[in-house]
A and B are shown apart, each in its own frame.
Chain A
Amino acid sequence: MSLPAYAELHCLSNFSFLRGASHPDELIEQAREQGYAALALTDECSLAGIVRAHQAAKAAGLKLLVGSEMTTVDGLKLVFLARNREGYGNLSALITLARRRADKGSYTLHRHDLNAVSPSGAVPDCLVLWVPDEQASIEQGHWLAERFAGRLWIAVELHAGPDDGARLADLQALGQACGLPLVASGDVHMHVRARRPVQDVLTALRLKTTVFEAGYVLFPNAERHLRSRLRLSRLYPAELLAETLRIAEQCTFSLDELRYEYPEEIVPAEHTPTSWLRQETERGLVERYPQGVPDDVRQRVEHELALIADLKYEAYFLTVYDIVCHAREIGVLCQGRGSAANSTVCFALGITEVDPARAAMLFERFISKERGEPPDIDVDFEHERRDEIIAYIYRKYGRERTALAAALITYRTKGALRDAGRALGFDAARIDALTASLAWWDKREQLPARFAEQGLDPDSPRVAKWLWLAEQLRGFPRHLTQHVGGFVMSRGPLARLVPVENTAMPERTVIQWDKDDLDAVGLMKVDVLALGMLSALRRMLAMLSGRSGREWRLRDIPSEDPATYAMLCRADSMGVFQVESRAQMSMLPRLRPRRYYDLVVEVALVRPGPIQGDMVHPYLKRRQGRERIEQISPAVDAVLARTYGVPIFQEQVMQLAIVAADFTPGEADQLRRAMAAWRRKGNLQKYQDKLRAGMATNGLPAEFAERIVQQIQGFGEYGFPESHAASFALLVYASAWVKRHHPAIFLCALLNSQPMGFYSPSMLIQDAQRHGVNVLPVDANASTWDSQVDTRGAVRLGLREISGFSPVAAERMVLARQAAGPFANVADLAARAGLNRRDLDRLAAADALASLAGHRRQASWAATAAVVQGDLFDGIAPSEPVLDLPAPGEGENLVADYRNLGFTLRRHPLALLRAQLQQRRFVPAGELAQAGHRALVRAAGIVVGRQRPGTATGIVFVTLEDETGLTNVVVHPQLVERQRRELLGASLLGVFGQLQVEGQVVHLVAKRLVDLSAWLGRLETVSRDFH
């Protein structure tokens, strides 16, 4: 007996959140294996999974139908299938309509939404399956038939229920009465029946119950999977199966037909995109090269413009250019990065300040005709003002034509454990205890051990199920949220291209696709990102301008300044963009950057990728001339020459694959994607084989080939692109230059841009003080909201440093001072600035009233009485005898400073404890190195940072601060486990350990930890945990 052909027309993936129990690619693969003629992915009011399905279907050679299941508020359940591009647009618009009027994550479809919009009825060019429920009526059938004449079917979904025979007969009668044809479909929720437990768990979670209590809302069996055609042939009459094929044949739409069209308004009416891009580029060139455009630059520009025109990418460049122009108009600092950003054209347009000539990088390295991938420009903006840019984009293109890309949130270990536990009826306290006991660094393999620690036997049936289900749920999509800043803009209504839905933020909308989807479909997005350092740099430039009387732009910072590089070589980089982390700081003295390109390497080198790929040591050795750079082949050498024969950048890996192993540019791009995903999917094997084979064919040494393969694997998702590093390096240099030559301005700008960066204001202030900056306390009669550099070059701290103080109050204080001079006393301050009790309290607590009322206690006493009552007695200061309170001691002041400001300008707390510390032979940070390599020493300090890099297996790095500087402590895993409490709990930590001195890099390897927090009394310090 030959099996009947079948196309599944009603199938949900796990993009129907908490309903579908299989990934789209699993469904596609299973449909292919069962020999289905086609599969329709019909997620509920969503096309979020369709791109993944499309890619999988193309790979599997299976026909994919695009559709969606929707239920009206009065319970009519329909499945729409797009017949062609028009139908797809109509479906996408219908989903958008239903989604946009409901809260994030839900939708509302009314019956009247299905009223005919054209002579061809509602939702034209879509085929419609009606999935009748038990109460389905002939009236409903007629109502639907009117709207979807000739393209409506009754879906017969038989799942071996109590009486399938009767059900079939009922539907046949209904079809007869309404004059509607019947078709078989499966209401598929999973690809194989083995997913039943997962599906049950999702159902229980959706209904906020447990599988034990869910009862009849769970499906009675696992029939909602992709059933074998043999089984279908036994359940359904043959003609109902055959009908599925007729429907599938009518649907010819493929996502490949989608064509992206750029907005038109980026080009003035009298111009074409090509001519406008040419004109603006020429204008920029004149500005960049007032003495005339050098020949080589001219050549590159011509070459690039030709390439851009060839690929029709003008509009993309112009879209970005338009946004950047607006930013410049409103004074927001921005900087582009990414493959296309490092072009001479972008340099001319002012999208980037990176001079491609200086970077020794070629445009083709980033954009190539053959690869056909869309150009990639990310633009970073000042983090505090990015919203203004976003508002501009919405204003310019309108809500109909622009939306953010989605970010798909998937289940991670903790969430999966939590939800699986909840569905299995474990009590909340249990689940919380378990998930809380997972430290941020715990690995999946340690889960059974963590279960056991919580008194849960991993081998007991219930707990084993918990583990298994959590494992299944991991990676399941959970909801859509907004991408950090990827905007999609279109010429026509965006909703006809991809459904648009609401986010938790009322003024933002997202499309249902994430950046991978956009990439795959060839839609372009512009990334509008936020970067704290740009806010700080803009402030630095403004202060430089104020001081010199001429406008400073990023490009006005003197380039290649030896003093700046010398400072970086000393690892004197606190606060400098990108190279301020501990790992970067210990790399700087070894890499010894002397020119811009060294910084590009520095930025990319201290990343998990190069570290795990074991590229750091070979690179340093060769750079220092301690290892020979081998000659492999001219082609390979050309790729690797600029990094001494060691691949550092993502682009180098791709180029290597091309020149050494004969990958096509397209394959190299796939390799890049595979690298990014291998930790999740682990399918690098075939590329590795191809790399080995290719390099052998080209006669490259096997040992070299193996090293490259290993390096690529180590690279994984963490390979950093040169195109981004080049942009970042520029900001590294600019911020380092300001730190070197204008440390007061540097400090001010960083303080005023908080929160950002690795270091707290306290550490930044101490660092500035060590560099000779005079830092003055917050003073009600001298400070403005922001910190400022005064006329003598000292930094006057701003009122913003006072925790809990309001900018509005600060503004009133400044205005009052400007209007009638300094305040005479606290009552005067309160009255003229209209401060409330809380404002005054904050000022007194922060010791900002010292010039008005004396020491802190006295100021507090004065402040609490000087409240403006705003009533009849306003201004009538009650006479009060003067009360002399004893002045606070140094310790009390320190505590109050830390509590209210987060730092102190007085002595460091450890200076007060130094005598005690000395007694117990604790050495100050500044004298540690003198003890010498391998010396056994003791150090103590306030814990200002704990870090556990994913690359250093189990090691925790702790940074201690005392009055002389910072101590870098390394805690090995055994000690982490043994002294967890001291490590996580101590704010003042003593370390007994052994020194590791390597040049200027000093580490203290801990052997024992002592919690000295009690010594601090009530001194509260804030530690920043990084993970």
Chain B
Amino acid sequence: MADAEAMAAGIVPGQKLSTALGLLPGLATFERDTAREQQALESLACWAGRFTPTVSLAPPNELLLEIGGCLRLFGGIQAIVSAVAAGCAEQAYTPGWAVAPTALAARWLARQGSGALCADLTSLHAALSALPCSAPAWAVEVNGRLESFGVRQLGALRAMPAAGLRRRLGNEPVDDLARAWGEIPDPQLAFVFPERFALNLELPSRVEQAEALLFAGQRLFATLAGWLSARQLRVRRCTLRLTHDDGEASDLSLGFAEPASEEGRFLRLLREHLGRLVLRAPVEAVGLLADEVTESQGHSAHLFDQAPEGEGTLACLERLRARLGTEAVQVLLPVADHRPECASSAQDVASAGTKTPTRPASPASHVRPLWLLPAPQALSEQAGRPYWHGPLRLLSRPERLESGWWDEGEQGAAGDVRRDYFVARNPQGQWAWIFRDAGGWFLHGLFA
């Protein structure tokens, strides 16, 4: 699909990428993510729990709300429709919608984006008859046939002999018509509200000010409220988890003196917290977990078990980290790179995790010192020989390393190295790993 700006430039769904880019060279393209679509649909279903406990998913992008039983609660069709529409808009969705006595008809009408309100079968049949045959989204083949018969609208289709249609189109279209018209029942599979509430929202762009999280927070709490309502629960404690752009997360625990279920109350609390919060790093995603909920009767339940504690090395690392500070404890991981300074990288314990480092296959005969200097140290030269606590004696044939052109000239990169390395010894008997390049002699490492 394309947004309004792209449409204006002539980009339409189904177009070849190269054509689209030809029309609008600056076009940004994204791949469709069906998993996230499904997730979005489910969270919207949770949210819709505030209106009715009977919600059905019609993937990929349709949601059915059975509102017959709760009309009075909300004060009539018009009111409930307005509430749903406003709620969607708050979450930045602009759905097409329709109200109809049959589920299928509601879906077909909603796709037309007309906002049809059909309270009874008579008005429903009139509205359905005027729908184009494309609305039910039957198989391409069926649509092609209908077109070849010159049938454009569902009303005209209904008027054709059903037996003749069944022979030509199969059973589905004829049966669908009967369902939509309300002639045969059309039971829907109800959405099962999840046992636990945990929802994560990826932000469209990095957020650096806590207040800017309010919008996402609203969406999360709106969904929570729907979920609580549908499951007839209240929440006592929940956690707002901010995922930063460095992959770390900060948790914000929100407790309620009294178990709560109204969105208004959540938002007041959220505003207070966000007002005080200073972000330690930009935020990329916000999540909400309901940690402790009670049924409306007041029964409390722990939703999450304690995670198993790490042991051994990890525990030791944790202690080290606690004493020395997080920054001070790092893990060396080997990296396949010919440049010695790039052949290992120091990483945070946390990000390195407990993964067993796998050593990349390196040439077996590498001669490498255990200690590498943080940066090569220039050596003076005396009588044509490198000097480090005395003249150095070269003990090996040169090992030539020329590598790394790919990050040459980039910020903080090692860049292209062109060096001849030698193992050398000074009069004190210290063994050094030194090299010579266009800039002269350098000390790069020490053998233990």
Q: Name the contact of B23 in the complex, choosing from A841, A865, A880, A980 (C-beta under 8 A).
A: A980
Chain B residues whose CB sits within 8 angstroms of the CB of A885 once the complex forms: 149-150
1/0 per residue, CB under 8 A from A, across B141-168: the answer is 0000100111000000000110110011
CB distance from A221 to the nearest CB of B (A): 4
Q: Name the contact of B17 in the complex, choosing from A163, A432, A455, A461 (C-beta under 8 A).
A: A432
1/0 per residue, CB under 8 A from A, across B2-31: the answer is 000000011000000111011101110101
Chain B residues whose CB sits within 8 angstroms of the CB of A844 once the complex forms: 148
Of all A-B residue pairs in the complex, the 10 with the closest CB atoms, nearest first, are: A215-B336, A160-B400, A461-B409, A860-B148, A436-B18, A221-B402, A857-B150, A864-B168, A221-B400, A220-B338
Chain A residues whose CB sits within 8 angstroms of the CB of B437 once the complex forms: none
Interface hit among A193-201, A303-311, A603-611, A631-639:
A193-201
CB distance from A971 to the nearest CB of B (A): 15
Instruction: Report if A454 contacts B (CB, 8 A).
Output: yes
Instruction: Report if A1017 contacts B (CB, 8 A).
Output: no
CB distance from B29 to the nearest CB of A (A): 7
Instruction: Report if A134 contacts B (CB, 8 A).
Output: yes
Q: Which of A99-120 contact B (CB under 8 A)?
A: none
- A residues engaging B (CB < 8 A)? 134, 159-166, 193, 196-197, 200, 211-216, 218, 220-223, 424, 429, 432-433, 436-437, 439, 453-455, 461-462, 465, 841, 844-845, 856-857, 860-861, 864-865, 878, 880-881, 883, 885-886, 888, 892, 896, 980-981, 984-985
A220–B336 touching, CB < 8 Å: no
A857–B405 touching, CB < 8 Å: no
- B residues engaging A (CB < 8 A)? 9-10, 17-19, 21-23, 25-27, 29, 31, 145, 148-150, 160-161, 163-164, 167-168, 335-338, 360-367, 396-403, 405-410, 420
Chain B residues whose CB sits within 8 angstroms of the CB of A200 once the complex forms: 403, 405-406
Chain A residues whose CB sits within 8 angstroms of the CB of B27 once the complex forms: 433
User: In the complex, what distance in Å separates the CA atom of A845 from the CA atom of B31?
Assistant: 36
Chain B residues whose CB sits within 8 angstroms of the CB of A857 once the complex forms: 148-150
B401–A163 touching, CB < 8 Å: no
B22–A134 touching, CB < 8 Å: no
User: In the complex, what distance in Å separates the CA atom of A864 from the CA atom of B167?
Assistant: 8
Chain A residues whose CB sits within 8 angstroms of the CB of B399 once the complex forms: 160-163
A216–B363 touching, CB < 8 Å: yes
Chain A residues whose CB sits within 8 angstroms of the CB of B336 once the complex forms: 213-216
Give 16 CB contacts A-B under 8 Å. A161-B365, A165-B396, A200-B406, A216-B336, A216-B338, A216-B363, A220-B402, A223-B400, A424-B406, A436-B18, A455-B26, A856-B148, A864-B168, A880-B161, A880-B163, A883-B161
User: In the complex, what distance in Å separates the CA atom of A880 from the CA atom of B400?
Assistant: 89
Chain A residues whose CB sits within 8 angstroms of the CB of B17 once the complex forms: 432-433, 436
Given contacts A211-B406, A980-B23, A981-B10, contact A163 B397 (CB under 8 A): yes
Interface of B is mostly: loop
User: In the complex, what distance in Å separates the CA atom of A478 from the CA atom of B31?
Assistant: 31
User: In the complex, what distance in Å separates the CA atom of A213 from the CA atom of B27?
Assistant: 30
CB distance from B323 to the nearest CB of A (A): 36
Chain A residues whose CB sits within 8 angstroms of the CB of B398 once the complex forms: 160
Residue of B at shortest CB range from A432?
B17
Total contacts A to B, CB within 8 angstroms? 138
Q: Name the contact of A436 in the complex, choosing from B22, B150, B366 (C-beta under 8 A).
A: B22
B397–A164 touching, CB < 8 Å: yes
User: In the complex, what distance in Å separates the CA atom of A453 from the CA atom of B150?
Assistant: 47
B406–A465 touching, CB < 8 Å: yes
B403–A218 touching, CB < 8 Å: yes
User: In the complex, what distance in Å separates the CA atom of A880 from the CA atom of B22?
Assistant: 53
CB distance from B336 to the nearest CB of A (A): 2
Chain B residues whose CB sits within 8 angstroms of the CB of A218 once the complex forms: 338, 403
Given contacts A134-B364, A432-B17, A856-B148, contact A160 B420 (CB under 8 A): yes
Chain A residues whose CB sits within 8 angstroms of the CB of B25 once the complex forms: 437, 453-454
A216-B363, A454-B25, A981-B10 known, 11 other contacts, Cβ within 8 Å: A159-B400, A160-B397, A163-B399, A165-B396, A166-B365, A221-B401, A223-B400, A429-B29, A433-B17, A461-B410, A861-B164
Chain B residues whose CB sits within 8 angstroms of the CB of A160 once the complex forms: 397-400, 420
Chain B residues whose CB sits within 8 angstroms of the CB of A436 once the complex forms: 17-18, 21-22
B402–A193 touching, CB < 8 Å: yes
Chain A residues whose CB sits within 8 angstroms of the CB of B164 once the complex forms: 861, 865, 880, 883
Residue of A at shortest CB range from B417?
A221
B405–A197 touching, CB < 8 Å: yes
B10–A212 touching, CB < 8 Å: no
CB distance from A444 to the nearest CB of B (A): 18
Given contacts A160-B399, A162-B367, A165-B397, contact A981 B23 (CB under 8 A): yes
Chain A residues whose CB sits within 8 angstroms of the CB of B9 once the complex forms: 981
A865–B167 touching, CB < 8 Å: yes
User: In the complex, what distance in Å separates the CA atom of A334 from the CA atom of B417?
Assistant: 63
Chain B residues whose CB sits within 8 angstroms of the CB of A433 once the complex forms: 17, 21, 27, 29
Chain A residues whose CB sits within 8 angstroms of the CB of B163 once the complex forms: 880
Chain B residues whose CB sits within 8 angstroms of the CB of A424 once the complex forms: 406
User: In the complex, what distance in Å separates the CA atom of A705 from the CA atom of B402?
Assistant: 53
Q: Name the contact of B402 in the complex, choosing from A163, A214, A222, A465 (C-beta under 8 A).
A: A222
User: In the complex, what distance in Å separates the CA atom of A896 from the CA atom of B29?
Assistant: 34
User: In the complex, what distance in Å separates the CA atom of A432 from the CA atom of B44?
Assistant: 35
Of A161, A165, A211, most B-chain CB atoms within 10 Å:
A161
Q: Name the contact of A985 in the complex, choosing from B10, B361, B400 (C-beta under 8 A).
A: B10
A215–B400 touching, CB < 8 Å: no
Given contacts A437-B25, A454-B25, A886-B150, contact A196 B364 (CB under 8 A): no
Chain A residues whose CB sits within 8 angstroms of the CB of B167 once the complex forms: 864-865, 878
Chain A residues whose CB sits within 8 angstroms of the CB of B408 once the complex forms: 461, 465
Chain B residues whose CB sits within 8 angstroms of the CB of A880 once the complex forms: 161, 163-164
CB distance from A549 to the nearest CB of B (A): 44
A984–B403 touching, CB < 8 Å: no
B18–A216 touching, CB < 8 Å: no
User: In the complex, what distance in Å separates the CA atom of A221 from the CA atom of B149?
Assistant: 72
CB distance from A345 to the nearest CB of B (A): 51
Chain B residues whose CB sits within 8 angstroms of the CB of A881 once the complex forms: 161
CB distance from A426 to the nearest CB of B (A): 12
User: In the complex, what distance in Å separates the CA atom of A166 from the CA atom of B22?
Assistant: 59
CB distance from A990 to the nearest CB of B (A): 16
